């Protein structure tokens, strides 16, 4: 399965722009042969706008944004992972949804590890570690940004059978080393594919560092995205997964009987 990773730049505060841009990119990704498009964290609103106006932009999982994304996916005939502030009765979640190429909702994941005081002021954390769905013959797992910086949820996905871990993010400088070092390490130590889709460029007082990438289960991948908008493509190959797990058998050689109590 070919996966497309969209590194996006700011939509300059235009509320209609995110969905229009996702529709355009979905068409390009599908034309390139991709079956799945991964977009950055809170891509349906933009990350800063979601934090600044969370009460006005939050929607339930079956709201107008979800219906629009279903139409986009079905029109382009491609599965899409997108983020938005999800309204729930107990608070707003930083969520990512996976919608199938027929427009059906396959999975919704709520970010578990919230980063910094701004996120903790805007959102309540999720309470489900492993959320998966099938896209074609690939088991796709979902995390969001800061989640991937913890080894435990990534390993939990690997043990649960995730082939491709999708991680929408909003990583700012000077934390480039997360994209350059931590993300490849997570893919390598758990022998899975990892698609890390970031924003790029200035936004308010910050600067999103780009560096999006699709990493294979051997920790290697194509060169990372640069500092602007890009669409990266890679093939999720089951044979490469099997080979990586045979050569570096971390999953097989674990000793959870010794450290289960520590977790």
Residues taking part in catalysis: 41, 111, 145
Contact at 8 Å (CB) between 123 and 147?
no
Distance of alpha carbon 86 from alpha carbon 72, whole angstroms: 19
Please, what sign has the CA dihedral across residues 240, 246, 247, 253? positive
Q: Dig out the tokens for 21 from the structure.
A: 């841009």
Angle at 16 between CA 14 and CA 20, to 5 degrees: 115
Cα–Cα distances (Å) from 172 to 85, 148, 153, 198, 204, in that order, read: 20, 15, 22, 9, 12
Q: Which of 193, 196, 200, 195 is nearest to 230 (CA)?
A: 200
Q: Dig out the tokens for 52 from the structure.
A: 């600044």
Q: What are phi and psi of 15, to 5 degrees?
A: -60, -30
Local structure of 165: helix, strand or coil: strand
Contact at 8 Å (CB) between 77 and 33?
no
Distance of alpha carbon 218 from alpha carbon 244, whole angstroms: 6
DSSP assignment of 91-138 equals EEEEEEEEE-TTS-EEEEEE-SS--HHHHHHH------S--EEEETTE
């Amino acid at each position: 399965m070919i996966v497309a990773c969209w590194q996006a730049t700011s939509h300059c505060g235009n509320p209609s722009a995110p969905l229009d841009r996702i529709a355009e990119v979905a068409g390009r990704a599908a034309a390139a042969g991709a079956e799945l498009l991964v977009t950055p964290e809170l891509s349906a609103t933009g990350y800063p706008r979601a934090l600044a106006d969370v009460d006005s932009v939050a929607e339930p999982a079956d709201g107008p944004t979800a219906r629009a994304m279903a139409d986009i996916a079905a029109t382009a005939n491609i599965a899409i992972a997108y983020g938005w502030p999800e309204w729930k009765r107990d608070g707003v979640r930083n969520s990512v949804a996976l919608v199938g190429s027929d427009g059906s909702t396959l999975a919704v994941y709520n970010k578990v590890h919230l980063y910094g005081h701004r996120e903790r002021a805007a959102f309540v954390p999720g309470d489900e570690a492993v959320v998966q769905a099938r896209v074609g013959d690939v088991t796709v797992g979902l995390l969001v940004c800061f989640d991937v910086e913890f080894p435990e949820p990534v390993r939990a996905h690997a043990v649960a059978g995730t082939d491709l871990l999708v991680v929408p993010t909003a990583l700012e400088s000077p934390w480039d080393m997360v994209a350059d070092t931590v993300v490849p390490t997570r893919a390598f130590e758990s022998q899975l594919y990892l698609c890390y889709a970031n924003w790029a460029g200035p936004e308010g007082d910050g600067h999103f560092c780009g560096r999006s990438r699709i990493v294979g289960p051997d920790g290697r991948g194509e060169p990372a995205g640069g500092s602007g908008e890009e669409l990266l493509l890679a093939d999720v190959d089951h044979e490469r997964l099997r080979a990586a797990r045979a050569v570096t058998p971390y999953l097989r050689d674990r000793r959870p009987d010794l450290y289960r109590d520590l977790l």
